[in-house]
Amino acid sequence: MQLTRRNAILMGAGAILMTGLPLRASAAGEDAIAAFTGGAEVGEGDIKLTAPEIAENGNTVPIEVSSDSATEIMVLALGNPTPPVATFKFGPLAASRSASTRIRLAGTQDVVAIAKLEDGSFVKASTTVKVTIGGCGG
Amino acid sequence: MISRRDFLQTSMAASAILGASGFGQWGRIAAQQTLTQDQLLEFDTFGNVSLIHITDIHAQLKPIYFREPSVNLGVGPNKGEVPHVTGADFRKMYGIDDGSYAHYALSSGDFTALAEGYGRVGGLDRVATVINQIRADRPDALLLDGGDTWHGSYTCYQTQGQDMVDVMNALKPDAMTFHWEFTLGSERVQEIVEGLPFAALGQNIFDAEWDEPAELFPPYKMFERGGVKIAVIGQAFPYMPIANPGWMFPEYSFGIRDENMQAMVDQVRAEGAELVVCLSHNGFDVDKKMAGIVKGIDVILSGHTHDALPEPVLVGETIIVASGSNGKFVSRVDLDVRDGRMMGFRHKLIPILSDVIEPDKEVAAVIDEVRAPYANALSEVIGKSDSLLYRRGNFNGTWDDVICDALLSEREADIALSPGVRWGPSILPGQDITREDIWNVTSMTYGAAYRTEMTGEYLHVVLEDVADNLFNPDPYYQQGGDMVRTGGLGYRIDISKPQGERISEMILLKTGERIDPSKTYQIAGWASVNEDTEGPPIWDVVEAHIRKKGTVSAPDNDSVEVVGL
């Protein structure tokens, strides 16, 4: 059977592949974190990052960050070509120090949120979001 | 406080003594003489609440054969833990005698001989009898359906799920959650759900656009039974738009959303719930992890991964009950709820042995009625099998080998890919294969048998991607299917490695040559989640193949080498 061009295009399972393997963090991500923290140590604590374990659509992944005592929260997608996603700033009168948005992920990678707290210290939360070809669910 | 003694009051294991001893002597008459319906259903009513759980029926209205897996590997914290224990190891673990009906129903090994002795399993008319008997003991028992109900057969496809809706309505469930139902398309799902006489639950079914709970699917429902306030919280399959075609239900978003689950548990407790039941389609390992994170769930009725366990698994103070698939089992869970707490339980996983349990006449009539218009199409014999055809197992099943052979020959491909779904009944050696049998292992709303080109490199990426859905050590990253089945392709898999390093030694079987990453291969497959996939329906491809062959065989398949156990 001759494979026509039309068949090759329409029957492809391959078109949606974004990337094959988990993406590693690049130096650009570390540089962005260093610029945000001024090189200060980053601990764990009052920062929450909510993201799906497996993205339903890697082009628009809903994430949410929150903290009771943050003045700024920086979000990074460490495997993206440009890791910094957004930095949210909260004033002292902010009713709720949380923000949600949708981000694009180039592939399976770690998403990181770093908060600068009122006392000047930095805390971090991280989660892996998987971007998969899909199919084959029981 | 729950005492250990109460937790040990499960009764399946004890029933194994009913079986005879020895192998290969299972005359049907002998099996029937040793077993009665009363013995199968025997239960000392306990406490003040009864739950009845059935899940993953996959539209199997009539009795079938269903072989449990011999390969079901656990990774990470679940290595060697149930449900990742099979065959003789499983029987040893639960004290089940070789050759007993519990052996036949719950584990692999000597399947053909035992199937000839004990007969078919399932049939919703038999399930109805079991439910009625439990209701005779406890009239206000809650009947909960874990989903994957409106999918998986010829009649379900032709009626867009109406056959299952009609029959299930006759069983009078109290609540349900969902997975494959959504592959009917959101419009049809909405149409059915709006007319359901019971609750359609899913705390994790969200509106995709606004990321807020979907109105049509409430997170939970409160019941009052035996003087106890019971909250049933639904948990739909978390990875619906990933494992199945999201374009068929673009309005909805899912996910595990265990934080929202915790919020719902807290909310129902605040509303006075004394017993919190989660009706889940997470899959067993995901439920285990969730039970360790979300506090305050008493019972998780677990579905999706099709595991049948004779005893609940305890995580903290949560019991997890797994009730099998394809109509083969019903779980009864009796609970003693006092002073706002679960104080103890008694549990039985009841195998629906169709020759032992009397069909319920009313439900049998409903089943006959929904099937009648399709009787001729269903019963037409297409061919025969001289091997046992089954599907369950992590890497290959003989039914999938036949399907892959059909794809290779009918679609003239180098390599065939068949999805690692866990539904689909078995065929005994020598049994006729009817059109209904073929549809039972292929029916779906996106069954186009595509043909495409893939480079060796891309094929490797596909296998790695699917393998990670199965062998990622964190259950929250698993989707609950088995490995994609391959025809014409051999490979080695190391399940202990991370994604990208598991698959090696890929061989094109017809030449014996290694797969070349830069070379292009002709690939045939089915069940693509991509919109506008073209090709003949897979059931037509399989039917044409079996018709040509007359009798199909599935010789031993050692094309996948598994290491890293």
Chain A residue numbers touching B534 (CB-CB < 8 A): 7, 10-11
Cβ of residue A8 closer than 8 Å to a chain B Cβ: yes
Residue B480 has its nearest CB partner, among A7, A8, A138, at: A138
- Give B390-426 pLDDT, tens digit per residue: 999 999 899 999 999 999 999 999 999 999 999 999 9
- Give B465-481 pLDDT, tens digit per residue: 999 999 999 999 998 89
**Mutation for B interface: A11, A17, A24, A133, most B CBs within 10 A:** A11
Instruction: Flag whether A105 is in a domain.
Output: yes
Instruction: Flag whether A136 is in a domain.
Output: no
Q: Is the pTM of this model over 0.90?
A: yes
> Looking at residue A97, which CATH number applies to its domain?
2.60.40.2470
Give me B448's structure tokens.
Answer: 């186009």
**Mutation for B interface: A54, A60, A103, most B CBs within 10 A:** A54
R_g (Cα) of chain B, nearest Å = 23
Number of H helices, E strands in chain A: 2, 8
Instruction: Flag whether A79 is in a domain.
Output: yes
Polymer length in residues for chain B:
565
Instruction: Flag whether A106 is in a domain.
Output: yes
Cβ of residue A92 closer than 8 Å to a chain B Cβ: no
Give me B250's structure tokens.
Answer: 């673009």
Integer Cα distance of B506 and A15 in angstroms: 22
pLDDT in tens, chain B (565 residues): 333 333 334 434 333 333 333 334 444 545 555 789 999 999 999 999 999 999 999 999 999 999 999 999 999 999 999 999 999 999 999 999 999 999 999 999 999 999 999 999 999 999 999 999 999 999 999 999 999 999 999 999 999 999 999 999 999 999 999 999 999 999 999 999 999 999 999 999 999 999 899 999 999 999 999 999 999 999 999 999 999 999 999 999 999 999 999 999 999 999 999 999 999 999 999 999 999 999 999 999 999 999 999 999 999 999 999 999 999 999 999 999 999 899 999 999 999 999 999 999 999 999 999 999 999 999 999 999 999 999 999 998 999 999 999 999 999 999 999 999 999 999 999 999 999 999 999 999 999 999 999 999 999 999 999 999 999 999 999 988 999 999 999 999 999 999 999 999 999 999 999 999 999 999 999 999 999 999 999 999 999 999 999 999 999 999 999 999 9
Of B75, B121, B120, B114, nearest in space to B91 by CA: B114
Please give, rounded to a whole number of angstroms, the shortest distance from the CA of A37 to a CA of chain B.
29
Of A137, A131, A136, nearest in space to A17 by CA: A131
Looking at the structure of chain A, the number of domains it has is: 1
- What residue numbers bound the domain in which A80 lies? 5-131
Residue B452 has its nearest CB partner, among A1, A11, A133, at: A11
Please give, rounded to a whole number of angstroms, the shortest distance from the CA of A118 to a CA of chain B.
26
Peptide bond before B312: cis, by omega within 30 degrees of 0? Answer: no
Instruction: Flag whether A116 is in a domain.
Output: yes
CA distances from A128 to A107, A137, B169, B288, B521 (A): 11, 20, 42, 20, 33
CA distances from A9 to B20, B408, B530 (A): 59, 20, 12
Tell me the average pLDDT of chain A.
85
Cβ within 8 Å of A, B 243-302: 243-244, 246, 253-256, 259, 283
- Give B509-541 pLDDT, tens digit per residue: 999 999 999 999 999 999 999 999 999 999 999
Residue A135 has its nearest CB partner, among B208, B283, B529, at: B529
Is-contact A19 A108, C-beta < 8 A? yes
Cβ of residue A5 closer than 8 Å to a chain B Cβ: no
Interchain proximity B452–A14, CB inside 8 Å: yes
Cβ of residue B419 closer than 8 Å to a chain A Cβ: yes
Instruction: Flag whether A138 is in a domain.
Output: no
Q: What is the ipTM of this complex?
A: 0.85
Residue reference for tokens 């690049």: A26
Give me B131's structure tokens.
Answer: 């439910």
